[in-house]
Structure 1
Amino acid sequence: MNVDFHSSALAESITALRERNPLVQCLTNHVVMNFTANVLYAVGASPAMCDNPEEAAGFATQVASGVLVNNGTPSSEQIQGMYLASAAAVAAGKPWVLDPVAAGGLPWRTAEVKKMMDANPATILRGNASEILGFLGGTSGRGVEATDSTTDAVDAAHELARRYHCVVAVSGPVDMITDGDELVKLSNGSAMLTQVTGVGCALGAVMAGYAAVTSPLNAAIAATSHMNIAAEDAASVARGPGSFAVELLDALARLSAEQAADRVKIS
């Protein structure tokens, strides 16, 4: 692996995101909408929570720079909007990110996101290890929480990346990202990331923003690194989960492209 290349690409991606301010259409769960929107603003993108089936496709085609689909609190109506937005994004040549929340643990939602992916493969598939294994056909996990390590999901990630010709990002203490050929490991971060609801969901939205300005592999690396390095800064001054969430937003906004390139732990 050319670590210098990825570090340089990380800096270029952060700069491009802030210069171009991509608009991310978020079809996401009700628990995390506010936090996701604030995270997008903090990194340098903009949010739009547009998931109505009557509007979703048109917005994806005409307005959005990228699309996030996160099925954390799915209804039949929202799933319809997700189908329409993801199909419209593919038809328009725009990136979309799928975050298959609780895949493998809840049959209906798992079947729906698989049908979505089969019909219009995502640019990036992002989840924790249990969700990636579950998407491939396993039944591990505890709701939205991972009970498997990222190492356990490497083979599944490779298989899914090759099957769908996409990038697969497996989030955990060591993040694993693959395009089916190259495997990138990222080791920044803080344990406090697991103590705030919605960080992983927001990460999917950030990936969609980055995918609008750089390649899918670089987008997944840049989004993950931006979040994890900022988390280190936030954790160093936070007094607990509440202050960490606020400090994280500030740290995401403060992190410079040069700082990220210098501090990223990539292998």
Structure 2
Amino acid sequence: MKKDIFIALLFIGGLTACNDSDNEQPENLESVNIFVCSNELEVPNTLGYPATNFSQIKLSEVKTGDAQPVTLTQTYDYEAGRIAGFTSLQKFATGGKSFEIENMNNVVYENHKVIITDEINNVSTYTLNDKGYAVSCVRQETNGKVRSYTFNYLTNTAGKHFLKNITEILNGDRIYSTINIDYNNYRALRITQQVDVYEQTYIASTPADNEIANTSEIPFLFLTELYPLSFHATAIYGKLLGDTYNTLITQLAPEENTESNETTTYSYSLDQRSIITSYKEFTKSYGKDYVRTVNYTIE
């Protein structure tokens, strides 16, 4: 599978059980789920909304293909822990000339609402719960299409929310796509994507001997690029759609991959702060190898 598009918390032992945000009753989860459960050193969030402890997260990569290489830089800016804006910059050269294409997302906060407008005036209006997480969204596109979304979460004992489901309804009349994330497996997330009549399940995991604390507070890049979550990247980076996992995922594979033998392995480089500086994904599928590199600047 080749994809052409894409105060820190230290993970230690002593993780606690989690609760389902829908009914606040204990869910049948492993008591030490490494992705979503709280730890003894967690720093309380006193802001009253999901916050990111950085002022900027920047991703940069060079995309190659049949055309000239394109350098894509995606920048998420934060103010007081909240997403303040997003900028996408593409740089490329052709015919002896250099070109730049810049697109921006504007973010406006209202009472229990966040309105994100992209460069072509598609408007996504998120309705938030009392904790600051989105429970629904209406996306009005310039072509007249209306997409409606609902979101459900798993909530841990520290009050953090982790996205469990997104459902997309087109033009108010039918469910077109969903993503469901099952946290029951101790060291693996079971991610099921359904689009129209197509369905695919992926297993995202971290082996016991390869745990990396997600002190960078970055979302799993695969999820941010998976439809329909791909329409909500700014909201994801703003934690409007849930908090980031305690650990970084190091392997992904389709649940049924006997024919392709497809597996993607993730490798991370960290600085002296244990903050990510680069990310590589190595994919093997149908006997072919693919490599993707994304550089991070987090301040």
For normalisation by structure 1, the TM-score amounts to: 0.40
Higher relative contact order, structure no. (Cα contacts within 8 Å, ≥ 6 residues apart): 1
Higher helix proportion (structure 1 or 2): 1
Q: Which has the larger radius of gyration?
A: 2
For normalisation by structure 2, the TM-score amounts to: 0.37
